């Protein structure tokens, strides 16, 4: 019995250095009509060469791709509704991520830009609006890149196993068995 307790304590120490999990997580975001995502195990290691399935809001499979050696994937889609990205990582592992639909908000921005355009060039406003939209998109993407990688890091951090959870879990287990013991004792007494 002592040995077993010893084993648990040793395990705990090992866990603090190499906290790893058996869970697969996925995360994705849109960039224009492109969807970029990453799939990783809870310790942050990439989920390599794994198939990626994309379903639309009706549950219909739209397309399929695979992750590269860094666990990243990307695909182009015209679908603006909610997308469900499923990554069956094999041997019973599976990650799912719901990518919210986008409303084409860019149109409003373009309208705001329109007076400027009219002053500058009255001709071919349609081409111009497209160009401006593209420029804004590019600028935004460049600015958001940092935040996106930050979010990704945060997500990975969140998926990591916390030492508090481990200790808490052991506490819960003893609690549950304590309860079972109590119930059994009452039954035996009556």
Question: Per CB under 8 A, does 3 bind another protein?
Answer: yes
Strands (E), 78-137: 83-90, 93-99
Give the contact letters, 12-51, x = binds to another protein (CB under 8 A), - = no.
x-xx--xxxxxxx----------------xxx----x---
Question: Per CB under 8 A, does 127 bind another protein?
Answer: no
Question: Per CB under 8 A, does 8 bind another protein?
Answer: yes
Pairing of strands 51-55, 83-90: antiparallel
Residue among 8, 38, 5, 4 at smallest CA distance from 24: 38
- Here the tokens at position 84 are 């469900």
Question: Per CB under 8 A, does 142 bind another protein?
Answer: no
CB 125 within 8 A of CB 114: yes
The nearer residue to another protein, 24 or 28, going by C-beta atoms, is 24
CB 31 within 8 A of CB 141: yes
Residues within the interface to another protein (CB under 8 A): 1-5, 7-8, 11-12, 14-15, 18-24, 41-43, 48, 86, 88, 90-96, 161, 165-166, 168-170, 172-174, 176-178, 180-181, 184-185, 188
């Amino acid at each position: 019995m002592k040995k077993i307790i010893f084993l648990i304590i040793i395990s705990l120490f090992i866990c603090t250095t190499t906290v790893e999990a058996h869970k697969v997580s996925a995360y994705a975001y849109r960039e224009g009509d492109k969807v970029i995502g990453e799939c990783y195990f809870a310790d942050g290691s990439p989920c390599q060469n794994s198939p990626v399935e994309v379903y639309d809001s009706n549950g219909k499979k739209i397309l399929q791709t695979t992750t590269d050696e860094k666990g990243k994937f990307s695909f182009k889609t015209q679908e603006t509704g909610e997308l469900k990205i499923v990554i069956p990582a094999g041997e019973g592992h599976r990650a799912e991520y719901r990518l919210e639909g986008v409303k084409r908000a860019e149109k409003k921005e373009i309208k705001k830009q329109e007076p400027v355009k009219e002053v500058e060039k009255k001709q071919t406003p349609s081409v111009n609006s497209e160009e401006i939209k593209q420029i804004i998109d590019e600028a935004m993407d460049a600015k958001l890149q940092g935040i996106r990688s930050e979010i990704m890091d945060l997500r990975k951090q969140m998926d990591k196993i916390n030492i508090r959870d481990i200790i808490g879990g052991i506490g819960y287990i003893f609690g549950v068995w304590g309860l079972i013991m109590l119930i059994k004792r009452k039954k035996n007494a009556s």
